[in-house]
Amino acid sequence: MKNKINLVLFLFGVLPFQSAFTQQGFSEPYDFGAQAAVFTNCILQGDTVAITGAILPQGSNQWSAMLARIDTNGLLIDLHYYPDTMGDQFSQLPNYGIIQTSDKGYLMCGSLVYASDGAVLKTDSVGNLEFYKVFAGEKSFKCKSGIEIENGYLVIGSHQRSNYFLDVVLLKLDKDGNKLWERNIGDWDLDEGGGGIFALDSNLFVVIGENGIGNASNLNNTFIRSKAWFVDSLGNVLDEWESEKNVESGILGLKILPDKSWLYCSRTYEVLSPDEWGGVTKLVRRDSNMNLMWERLMPHATTINNLLYDITPTADGNWVAIGHWIPYYEPFNPDTIAWMGGVIHKFSSDGDSIWTVLDSVFWDQEYGSYNRLGGVVALPSGSVIAVGSVMEMGTVFKSWAWMVKADKDGCIDTLCITTHIPVENLSEKGGSVRVYPNPGDQEVQFAFESLIGEEVTVSVVNTLGRTVFKAQLDRTAGYIDWNTTNVATGVYVFTARSQDGRVIEHGQVIVQH
């Protein structure tokens, strides 16, 4: 079936801590009064979202593990952070694991930067720390995620072996976090990484991830593929499955459906140049025998940076995937890499696109911003909440924890652009810029009556983030004309900036032929 995007929403310059909680959706950055903070993953408990991440408290030079609980309107319930007792820096990447345990507590996974050791934390139901266990691998051990079993926990991660290749590591922990055994999973002469572990029954588990060669001297000899290992309760590998080379780059966000089919995120790979790899994210569904049922490529730039991390079912029988995209990119043209957007993509059980939201919180004209989403939950109302992090760029460099809520139609805040919802006519708004006609057919004019004599630049981007028009204001005329005959019907975003880079105004322009 045809894969079509019905909605792409860009939000530029959203202010921190805006009061949007009475609206259907919101896009909210948090720092909790700290120097920096990041969210990486979340789970839903009724009206509460429990979130794992890391925080750099004010006055400290040590990143600590973090557990935050926030209600579904974005209001903080409580916040806890757990510094390593040896002074090391705690680290988590997007979609690192958090689970609620049978005693209503939380189990979280991560790694320590200086020691290159894995870390597993367990709290009680109100966030009091019960154990903080550190595990050393041969080199660079990272704990990724875990599950609870009857007499303890199974935790997966990866470490570097003595031959410098990566292997998946499976740990068995007791209820107090003590290691009972450890198993290396993977081939000695290939790189392997683990993305998650799932119970198929009481004595059969599947570890998902990827394997390949990532350090070949010749880029053309480098490859990657999706990989799954089926193991018993003692960590013995009973069976394996792998995809073709470079067709898939690993399994993320796996959901095993009632018919035993698999739905997950992955990515294709290709060589863009002798020095550069590229990739396109995609959604994949396979039957219980791992035969391909369908796959859907995402419409964004081909770069190494694009990833989808997590999938969740929605209340209306569809699905949502989240991650981050660079929407438009040309190799060796730095002007096309201005920002990375957090993405929420809703799709049907057949993989057909319903809507896509691509959101950025902060914005810098020269440096853009980096926005990542690593975990998602769905509410009974049909809304979805995703968490991640934002790197504010430009004159200020700071990491913010980030939560986004979109309703069932993909609306965030008061902005929702679809083919069925009219957009406000900006020519009727007050402000420094008058856009007319809007919608426009052959031509759109940006008028700056109050700014005659000033240097003003107007740029217009399409829904893939590509600049389709850029011009400087004629100081004497006070307006800029945009010939729209050669652009497609759709919604565009304009930004008007002063000579010093200050945003004078921005908004939407509709072209309708």
pLDDT at 452: 58
| 357 Cβ contact partners less than 8 Å away, ≥ 6 residues apart | 7, 8, 9, 343, 344, 345, 404, 406, 410, 412
Given a cut of 50, the residues of the chain with pLDDT beneath it are: 1-23, 414-415, 417-431
pTM for this predicted structure: 0.76
In tens, the pLDDT along 98-152 reads 999 999 999 999 999 999 999 999 999 999 999 999 998 778 889 999 999 999 9
Question: 151 in helix, strand or coil?
Answer: coil
pLDDT at 497: 77
> Count of CB atoms within 10 A of residue 40's CB?
29
Asked whether the CA dihedral 412, 418, 422, 424 is positive or negative, the reply is positive
Q: How far apart are the first and last CA of the chain?
A: 27
Q: Mean pLDDT over all residues of the chain?
A: 83
CA distance 101 to 87: 27
pLDDT at 465: 56
Structure tokens at 132: 């903080």
Rounded to the nearest 10 degrees, how much is the dihedral formed by the CA atoms of 180, 186, 192, 193?
-30
- Whether omega for the bond prior to residue 437 falls within 30 degrees of 0, making it cis, is yes
pLDDT at 426: 32
CA distance 362 to 338: 12
Structure tokens at 262: 């698999």
| 125 Cβ contact partners less than 8 Å away, ≥ 6 residues apart | 103, 104, 105
In tens, the pLDDT along 354-386 reads 988 888 887 666 677 789 999 999 999 999 999
Query: How far out from the chain centre does Cα 262 lie?
Result: 21
Question: 440 in helix, strand or coil?
Answer: strand
**b or e along 44-58 (b: 16 or more beta carbons within 10 Å of the residue's beta carbon)?**
beeeebbbbbbbbbe
CA distance 25 to 413: 5
CA distance 425 to 508: 9
